[in-house]
Structure 1
Amino acid sequence: MDEIINKCNEKIKEKFNIGYHHLRSIEISECVYADDIVIIAGSEKRLKENLDIWNAELERHNMTINKKKTKVMVITNEGKKLNMKIGQENIEQVKKFKYLGAVIEESGVQDIEINERIVSAAKVYHAIKSTIIRKREISRNTKMKVYKSIFRPILTYGCEGWILDNRTKSKIQSLEMKYLRAVKGITRCDRIRNSDVREELGIKSMTEFIENKQLGWWGHLQRMHNQSQVKQVWEAKPQGRKRKGRPKKTWDEVIAEIITTRGSTWREAKQTALDKKAWFKFIND
Structure 2
Amino acid sequence: MSSDIYAKPDLSKKVRYSRKEQEDRAEWEQREVDIYESTDEIRDSYDHFQSQEGGPQTQSPPSVQKGSFRCATLALRVLCLLMLAGIIILSICYALNKNENKRLHAKYDKLNHVYNDTKKNHTELQDELQDTKTILTQLQSSYDKLSKNHSQLQEEVKKLKEKIEEKCPDRWTRFGSSCYFKSTERKTWSESRRDCQDKGADLVMINSKEEQMMWFCWLHQSMASSSSWNGFAVEREVVGMRTSTTKSEAMVLSQKRVECSLQVRDESLPQVEALKYFGVLFTSDRRRKREIDRRIGAAAAVMQALYRSVVVKRELTVKAKLSIYWSIYVPTPTYGHELWVVNEITRSRIQVAEMGFLRRVAGLSLRDRVRSSVIFEGLRVEPLLLHIESSQLWWFGHLTRMPPG
TM-score normalized by the length of structure 1: 0.60
Letter in 2 for 1:228: P
Distance 1:42 1:118 in 2: 38
Distance change in 2, residues 1:93/1:205 (3 Å): same
Segments of structure 2 that go 5 or more residues without pairing to the other structure are 1-212
**Shift of residue 175, structure 1, vs aligned partner:** 0.4
In structure 2, the residue matched to 1:202 is 380
In structure 1, the residue matched to 2:286 is 108
Alignment of 1:3-22 (within 5 A): none
Distance 2:288 2:327 in 1: 24
Is 2:257 the counterpart of 1:79? yes
> Conserved in 1, the CA contact under 8 Å of 2:273 and 2:284?
yes
Letter in 2 for 1:184: A
Alignment of 1:182-201 (within 5 A): 182-201=360-379
In structure 1, the residue matched to 2:404 is 228
Distance change in 2, residues 1:116/1:54 (3 Å): farther
From 92, 96, 102, the equivalent of 2:274 is 96
Letter in 1 for 2:359: R
Distance change in 2, residues 1:90/1:147 (3 Å): same
Distance change in 2, residues 1:183/1:81 (3 Å): same
Alignment of 1:1-285 (within 5 A): 43-48=216-221, 49=223, 55-222=233-400, 224=401, 227-229=403-405
> Conserved in 1, the CA contact under 8 Å of 2:214 and 2:258?
no
Letter in 1 for 2:240: N
SS of corresponding position for 2:361: helix
> Conserved in 2, the CA contact under 8 Å of 1:41 and 1:47?
no
Distance change in 2, residues 1:125/1:87 (3 Å): same
Distance 1:44 1:156 in 2: 35
Distance change in 2, residues 1:90/1:144 (3 Å): same
> Conserved in 2, the CA contact under 8 Å of 1:97 and 1:104?
yes
Q: Report how many aligned residue pairs link the two structures.
A: 188
Distance change in 2, residues 1:137/1:54 (3 Å): farther
Q: What whole-Å deviation, never above 9, does each CA across 1:195-231 have from its counterpart, x for those lacking one?
A: 1111111111111111111222233344x16x433xx
Q: What whole-Å deviation, never above 9, does each CA across 1:39-69 have from its counterpart, x for those lacking one?
A: x997113444378566433212234222222
**Shift of residue 130, structure 1, vs aligned partner:** 1.6
> Conserved in 2, the CA contact under 8 Å of 1:52 and 1:86?
no
Distance 2:272 2:217 in 1: 15
Distance 1:190 1:54 in 2: 67
Distance change in 2, residues 1:131/1:47 (3 Å): farther
TM-score normalized by the length of structure 2: 0.43
**Shift of residue 95, structure 1, vs aligned partner:** 0.7
Q: What whole-Å deviation, never above 9, does each CA across 1:161-185 have from its counterpart, x for those lacking one?
A: 3211111110010000001011112
Letter in 2 for 1:201: L
Distance change in 2, residues 1:42/1:107 (3 Å): farther
**Shift of residue 106, structure 1, vs aligned partner:** 0.2
Distance change in 2, residues 1:139/1:68 (3 Å): farther
| Larger-gyration structure (1/2) | 2
Distance 1:132 1:42 in 2: 56
Indicate the larger mover: 79-88 or 164-173: 79-88
Aligned Cα root-mean-square deviation (Å): 2.4
**Shift of residue 101, structure 1, vs aligned partner:** 2.2
Distance 1:183 1:213 in 2: 25
**Shift of residue 105, structure 1, vs aligned partner:** 0.7
Distance 1:83 1:163 in 2: 30
**Shift of residue 132, structure 1, vs aligned partner:** 1.4
- If asked which structure has higher relative contact order (CA below 8 Å, sep 6+), I would say 1
Q: Higher helix fraction: Structure 1 or Structure 2?
A: 2
SS of corresponding position for 2:375: helix
